[in-house]
Amino acid sequence: MTISPERPRARRWPIVGEPVYEGSRIPHPIPTVLAVPDDVSDSEDIFRINFGPNHPSTHGVLRLIVDLDGEEVVGLSAVIGYLHTGFEKTMETKTYWKCVTYPERIDYVAYQANELVFVLAVEKLLALEVPEKATWMRMLLCELNRIHSHLVYLGTSALELGAISMFWYCFREREQILDLFELVAGQRMHTRYFQVGGLAEDIPEGFYPECRKFVEWMPQALDDYLAILDRNQIWLERTKGVGLLSARDAIALGQTGPNLRASGVDWDLRREQPYLAYEQVDFRVPVYPDGDVYARYRVRMDEMAESTRIARQCLDRLERMEGRPWIADDRKVVLPPREELHTSMESLIHHFKIVTEGFRVPEGEVYVAVESPRGESGCYLVSDGGPKPWRVHFRAPSFVALEATPTCAQNCLVADLIAVVGSLDAVMGDTDR
């Protein structure tokens, strides 16, 4: 296991370790459909089953059409779209103020990352300066959300491979994180706490000690998980060497995030293209060269430890920023504070304009990418200068992760297919948008 140092060292190619397998295993004619090999396909032994929309092990409504030769998976193709919610069409009819609520529901496990990517895209078009306190608080909440997302991954995928007690351990820590979100924003999930220009509210005073308590407790909880799983012979048997994905295939299939780092590619947007304040934070990027289900599990476990470290550093900085502005004061975009409405006429006009018609975003197109727990979550925003976005498109890491299922599921058993789909950690809302 190699952890690359904080600062990127000069290298031409970020691949770590020797390749998992030679050449490429991506199915030939159609990269995302594993066709049944000809010598077997005519015999009637091929048993086609539906890992259908309502299946306990597919996270959400993914449907896999699997051709089995006995227990072995010989053919695989994914059918998605059972949760297609038409986000992009709906957001074209809403003003920017209302649009901020929609991205959270796209990847509903890593909701802060989606909210952040949309808000950053709008701020980039507006060229709006966000105060430092808001930047650091956004980073803290995104790291907490990363731990939350990895806990949901660990709980459910361990549950499917038989380690049922992991589900209750992980959801115990997850409840603590949701309490923090509730304390800050009033709601457990989909907090809508990020606003174009900063934060929706100031940070309540009880938040810092509570968050400090969680950050102190988390490393010990992580050690509990490792104690349960890491030397568990069944877990190792079910995850090592299953669902192989080499670095070249991962790049060709556009994998990002933990799936990419588990295949030996040393790439993390928080360090390569720092956004928010990630360049002032010291953290390490776990990279594993094995490219199997165990490597992805290890990458996510180490990422949780790193996120706790980042959260601790954010807390130290935030506690020194008492009383600083938490939202920009550009009146054309940000609502003026309430008390100011009673005194100044301009604030009243600005308030009225923003509320009725919505603030305008100058014309242009922009693509912002953020390291969400599942990979690079991007937002391509086109604006025609009006109050409503002209075109919004979210780059979904889960959409791309599912493209790798046929490559990873080659010559594995049906039971391993569950481990592979669980390890790719695809959330169906993110896939179907």
Partner 1 sequence: MLGDWLPFLIYGLMALAIPASLLFMSFALAQRPARRTRARALPFESGVSRGPMKEQRFTVSFYLTAMLFIVFDIEIVFLYPLAVQLHALGWFGFAEFGVFILILLVAYVYIWRKGALDW
Partner 2 sequence: MAARLRDYGLQSERLLWPTKGPSRFEEEMGVDELERALGLTTLEKAVRWAQTKSMWPDTFGLACCAIEMMSIVSARYDIARFGMEAFRSSPRQADLLIVSGRVAHKMAAPLRQIYDQMVEPKWVIAMGACASSGGMFNNYTILQGVDRIVPVDIYVPFCPPRPEALMEGILRIHEAHLAGIPPAYERRSVAT
Partner 3 sequence: MSASWEDAPGFVSIREAHGETTVTIETERIRDACLFARDELGFEMCVDLVATDYLGWGAQGVSGYIGTAGGRDLHSPMTQGLQTLPEAKPKRFSISYHLLALRQEALRVRLQCWADDGEPVPSVVSVWPTCDWHEREQYDLMGIAFEGHPNLSRILLEDDWAGHPLRKDYPIGGEPVRFSDAE
H/E stretch holding 223: helix 207-229
Contact 137, 326 (CB under 8 A): yes
Q: What's the burial of 404, exposed, middle or buried (CB within 10 Å: 0-12/13-18/19+)?
A: buried
* Residue at 157: amino acid letter: S
36 lies in the site for partner 1, by CB under 8 A: no
Per CB under 8 A, the list member of 8, 17, 32, 69 interacting with partner 1 is 69
DSSP code at position 270: H
- Give 247 or 428: the residue with its C-beta nearer to partner 2: 428
Length of the chain: 433
Residue 233, CB-side half-sphere exposure with 13 Å CA sphere: 0
Smallest gap from residue 152 Cβ to partner 2 (A): 7
DSSP code at position 105: G
CB neighbourhood size of 89 (10 A): 9
Per CB under 8 A, the list member of 5, 23, 29, 56 interacting with partner 3 is 29
Q: Which does 69 bind (CB under 5 to 8 A by kind): partner 1, partner 2, partner 3, none?
A: partner 1
* Residue at 354: amino acid letter: I
DSSP code at position 239: H
Q: Which does 189 bind (CB under 5 to 8 A by kind): partner 1, partner 3, partner 2, none?
A: partner 2
Smallest gap from residue 52 Cβ to partner 2 (A): 7
Per CB under 8 A, the list member of 1, 11, 47, 168 interacting with partner 1 is 47
Q: Is 94 helix (H, G, I), strand (E, B) or coil?
A: coil
At residue 354's C-alpha, the angle toward residues 198 and 96, to 5°, is 60
* Residue at 174: amino acid letter: R
Nearest CA among 369, 333, 92, 77 for reference residue 198: 333
Interacting residues with partner 3 between 315 and 344 (CB under 8 A): 332
- Give 325 or 387: the residue with its C-beta nearer to partner 3: 387
Per CB under 8 A, the list member of 37, 81, 209, 337 interacting with partner 3 is 81
- Give 50 or 344: the residue with its C-beta nearer to partner 1: 50
Q: In the numeric block, which tokens belong to residue 187?
A: 């709601």
Q: Which residues pair with 382 in a beta bridge?
A: 365, 391
Smallest gap from residue 235 Cβ to partner 2 (A): 21
Q: In the numeric block, which tokens belong to residue 426?
A: 């695809």
Residues that bind partner 2 (CB under 8 A): 52-56, 60-61, 81-86, 89-90, 101-102, 105, 108-109, 111, 152, 156, 167-168, 171-172, 174-175, 178, 188-190, 428-429, 432
- How many helices and strands in the chain, by DSSP H and E? 18, 11
Q: In the numeric block, which tokens belong to residue 100?
A: 């901020």
Smallest gap from residue 84 Cβ to partner 1 (A): 16
Q: Which residues bind partner 1 (CB under 8 A)?
A: 44-45, 47, 49-55, 63, 69-72, 413
Which parts of this chain interact with partner 3 (CB under 8 A)?
Answer: 8, 10-14, 26, 29-33, 80-81, 84, 86, 88-90, 93, 124-125, 127, 251-254, 256, 265, 267, 269, 272-273, 332, 353, 356-357, 359-360, 363-367, 369, 376, 378, 380, 382, 384-387, 390-391, 393, 395, 399-400, 402-403, 432-433
